[in-house]
Chains A and B, each alone.
Chain A
Amino acid sequence: MIFFLLLAVLVFVAQLVEIFLPPLDWMFNAHIYIVPVIVCYGAVALPFPLMLALAFVAGFLWDAMTVQVLDPAHVEISFGWSILLYAVLAAIMHGLKPLFNRGRWEVHCILSGVYTALILLTQYLMISFRRGSIIFNREIWWQIGGPGLLAMLMAPLIFWSLHWLSRLTGSPYLPEEERFDEFSTR
Chain B
Amino acid sequence: MNRSSIVAIVIFAAALLALLSIGPQATRKIQATFFQVISPFLKTGSGLERQITSVRAGLKSLEELEKENAALKVENRSLKATNEALRDVEHEVNRLRHALNYRQRSLFRLVPAEIVSRDSSTWWRTVTINRGAQDGLEPEMPVLTDEGLVGRTTTVSDSIAVVLLISDENCRVAASVEGTREQGIVTGERVAGSLTPMLDLNYLSKQAELKPGQKVYTSGVGGVFPSGLFVGTVRSFQVRALDSQAKLAPAVDLSKLEDVFVVIGRK
Contact = CB atoms under 8 A, between A and B. Distances in A.
Interface of A: 16, 18-23, 25, 28-31, 33, 47-49, 52-53, 56, 60, 63-76, 78-81, 83-84, 87, 120, 123-124, 127, 131, 135, 137-140, 142-144, 147
B164 interface: yes
B45 interface: yes
A18 B193 contact: no
B41 interface: yes
Interface in B83-126: 117-124, 126
Interface in B13-43: 15-16, 19-20, 22-25, 27-28, 30-31, 34-35, 38, 41-42
B170 A68 contact: yes
9 contacts: A16-B38, A16-B41, A19-B120, A28-B194, A49-B8, A65-B121, A68-B126, A79-B19, A143-B122
B20 A19 contact: no
B4 A70 contact: no
B258 interface: no
Summarize A's interface: helix, strand, loop or mixed.
Answer: helix
A124 B123 contact: yes
A18 B122 CA distance: 11
B5 interface: yes
A32 B123 CA distance: 13
Contact of B122 (A67, A73, A78, A147): A147
Contacts of A49: 4-5, 7-8
B119 A19 contact: yes
A55 B55 CA distance: 39
A127 B118 contact: no
Contacts of A31: 120-122
Contact of A48 (B8, B24, B38, B45): B8
A29 B140 contact: no
Contacts of B45: 16, 19-20
Given A25-B194, A49-B5, 8 more contacts: A20-B49, A21-B120, A69-B155, A79-B20, A79-B27, A81-B20, A135-B191, A144-B122
Which are the 6 A-B pairs with shortest beta-carbon distances?
A49-B8, A80-B19, A139-B193, A64-B34, A80-B20, A18-B120
B169 interface: yes
A74 B24 contact: yes
Interface in B135-185: 139-140, 154-155, 164, 169-170
Contact of A69 (B24, B118, B190): B24
B156 to A, nearest CB: 11
B242 interface: no
Contacts of A83: 16, 19
A175 to B, nearest CB: 19
Nearest to B49: A20
A48 B123 contact: no
A79 B22 contact: yes
B134 to A, nearest CB: 20
Given A70-B154, A83-B16, A28 B8 contact: no
Interface string B1-15: 100110111001001
Contacts of A52: 8-9, 12
B121 A66 contact: yes
